[in-house]
Structure 1
C-alpha cells in the first residue's frame, strides 16, 4: 500500500512510518522540520524509518515540506492509498503565546489535506487528535460523548481540525477516523515532555521539576499501543466517521510519577515545585471502550510498565538521546 504520513519525522509519525515501512508498505513522509525541539531527533527518526524499509522490503521517501503548502499536499495525496495525518504544531503552553500559528498549521494545514482527499479519493484518512479537546472534566474517565470544551488554543485547534475531518468524510464520502491520543510517551519521545525530563534530570543528579502541586493526573499512553491502533485502521472500517480515544485506561498523579522515577534512579534527590501553567489540564483519563469495540484495542502497558521500559531504553540510548533532552 502507498501510505502518506504527515509529520512523519516526529515522535508518533516517526514510529508509524517505521512500522509501515517494516511491514513492506510504500511510505512517503512529509515533514517541515520545525525546530520546536532539537532537529537531530527528527533526523534520527528518519534514519530509523529508512533502515526499517531496508529490513522490511518496503520503501521510504522523505519530503521536506509543509502541510500549509496546498499544491505540494495535493501532489502527495494523489499518490496515496492511506493518509496518516500526524503533522501539527504541538504544545499546550506555547499555543498560548502564538495561537495564530496553531490555527494556520493545525486547522488550515488539515484543510489542505482534506481538500486533496476529497478531490482524489483515498482508502482512509486517519488524523491525530488529542485529549486536549475535552478541556475541564465534567466526569472521568472521558468517553467520546464527553463535552469538548478545550482550555488552550492547541486543544481548540485540534478540535476544529477533527470536526472538519469528520464533516468532510460525511459530505464528500471518504473514510475518516480521528484518534484522540492521551499523552503519548516512549522511545524517541519529544525531549520536552514530563517523563523524559524527569528521567534525564534524575540520571544527571538534578531534581525533577513539578509544575503545580503535583496532584494533576495524567493518562499516559505507550507508543507501541498508539502504533497498533493506527495499524488496525489499515484493515478495519468499523471506526469510520468517528473520534476514538486511545489511552492506557490507567492514570497517575504527577507527584507520584516523579517520585517513582526519582526513587528508581536517584532516591537522594528532592522534588522541586514551580508555578503551574494555566493552560495545563488538571486531569486526563481515557475510557477506551469504543476503541476496544471497534478496533480490538487493548493497552499493553500500564504506566508503570511503560515508564520502566522507557528508562531501560533511555539508558541503552543515552549517548545520543540525552544531549537532545538536556538542550531542550
Structure 2
C-alpha cells in the first residue's frame, strides 16, 4: 500500500514515516518546498529507511501540488500544519491559509481522486481548558488561541466532507506529544536543552497548567492503528496517555532524571494572554482502546519517565543538542 504523509519532514511526521516503513508501507513524503532543498528531520533517518521513501516537495497551501502528490496513493496521513501558539498571536492569517485551506486542499483532492482513507491530525488544544476530566471526544471545543481556532476549523471541515460526500476521513487527536526531534518551541525540549547546556535557572512561562504528555512512539502507533481500522472512519479519536502532570512538576522530574537541581524563573515573554492559556488537559483514551485496540505503552508516571529518558538521551547528544537555540525564546 502506498501512503502520502504531509508534514513528513517535521517532528511527528518523520517518526510516522519511520513507523510506516517498518510496517511495510511504501511512503511518499510531502515536504515543504524550500530554497535549500532541505528535507528537515527526514535527512536524519537511516539510509535503509529512506530507500522506501519518495520525497515530494510542495506546499500544502497549493491545491495543484497536493493533488499531484496524492496521485497513485491509496491513503493520506495529513500532518502538515503551523503549530506554534505564540506565532499565531501575531500572524493568524498564515494559520488560516495553512491549517484550514491546506486541509481543504487535501480532502478535496482525496474526494476527487477516490483516496481510500484520510487520517487528519487534530490537537488537544481544540478542547481549551478542561470543563471536565478526563476529556473525552464529546468535550466542547474552545478556540483559546488563533492556532486552536484554525485547528477546530480544519477538523470540522474534514468531518464535513465525511458527512457531505462520504469521504473516508478519520480525525486523530493527539494530546501533547513529546520525544526526540521535537521543536524547542515545546516545553519539554525547552527544559531539557536549557539543562543540557548547563543552565541552573530555567526560564519557562506559566508552570501550573497540566498536560497529558504522549510519547511520540505511542502517537505513531495511534496513527497507524487508526489507518488500519475501518471503525475509525467518520470518528474523532483521542490519542493520549490518560496521565496528568503540571508543567512545573515536569521540569522538576526532568531535572531529577538529568541529575541536577534547578530554579524555575518565570519569563514574561513566554506567558500566554490570561484567557488564552489552556489550564488543564487530561485525555480520556477509552475510545482509542475500543475502536483501535490502542493503548499507551508509555502511560502513567513510570511510562512518562521512560519516555523522558529516551528523549533526554537523544537531546543530550552533542550533535543533536547543537541544532537547538537553548539560549533564546523560540517563538
Give how far 1:51 is off.
Answer: 3.2
Partner of 1:304 in structure 2? Answer: 305
Choose 270-279 or 217-226, whichever is displaced more: 270-279
Give how far 1:182 is off.
Answer: 0.8
Partner of 1:80 in structure 2? Answer: 73
Partner of 2:325 in structure 1? Answer: 326
Partner of 2:168 in structure 1? Answer: 175
Matched, 1:274 2:228: no
Choose 284-293 or 196-205, whichever is displaced more: 196-205
The alpha-carbon distance between structure 1 residues 188 and 297, as it changes in their structure 2 partners (threshold 3 A), is same
TM-score by length of 1: 0.91
Q: Which runs of 5+ in 2 are unaligned?
A: none
Match of 1:264 among 257, 269, 287: 257
> Could you tell me how far apart the structure 1 residues matched to 2:137 and 2:24 are?
33
Aligned-pair Cα RMSD in Å: 1.9
Partner of 1:217 in structure 2? Answer: 210
Secondary structure class of the residue paired with 2:282: coil
Matched, 1:29 2:29: yes
Question: Is residue 102–residue 157 contact of structure 1 (8 Å, CA) maintained in 2?
Answer: yes
Give how far 1:46 is off.
Answer: 3.3
Give how far 1:123 is off.
Answer: 1.4
Secondary structure class of the residue paired with 1:5: strand
Partner of 1:11 in structure 2? Answer: 11
> Could you tell me how far apart the structure 2 residues matched to 1:255 and 1:76 are?
43
> Could you tell me how far apart the structure 1 residues matched to 2:20 and 2:158 are?
23
> Could you tell me how far apart the structure 2 residues matched to 1:178 and 1:31 are?
21
The alpha-carbon distance between structure 1 residues 277 and 110, as it changes in their structure 2 partners (threshold 3 A), is same
Secondary structure class of the residue paired with 1:195: helix
Give how far 1:20 is off.
Answer: 1.5
Matched, 1:51 2:48: yes
Q: How does 1:228-307 map to 2 (within 5 A)?
A: 228-265=221-258, 267-275=260-268, 276-278=271-273, 279-301=276-298, 302-307=303-308
Matched, 1:200 2:197: no
Question: Is residue 3–residue 81 contact of structure 1 (8 Å, CA) maintained in 2?
Answer: yes
CA offsets 1:157-210 (integer angstroms, 9 cap, x no match):
111111111110222122111111111111111222111111111122212222
> Could you tell me how far apart the structure 2 residues matched to 1:266 and 1:93 are?
31
> Could you tell me how far apart the structure 2 residues matched to 1:97 and 1:104 are?
14
Give how far 1:33 is off.
Answer: 5.6
> Could you tell me how far apart the structure 2 residues matched to 1:320 and 1:33 are?
25
Question: Is residue 24–residue 53 contact of structure 1 (8 Å, CA) maintained in 2?
Answer: no
TM-score by length of 2: 0.90
Give how far 1:143 is off.
Answer: 0.6
Secondary structure class of the residue paired with 1:208: strand
Q: Which runs of 5+ in 1 are unaligned?
A: none
Give how far 1:34 is off.
Answer: 7.2
Secondary structure class of the residue paired with 1:260: helix
Give how far 1:53 is off.
Answer: 4.2
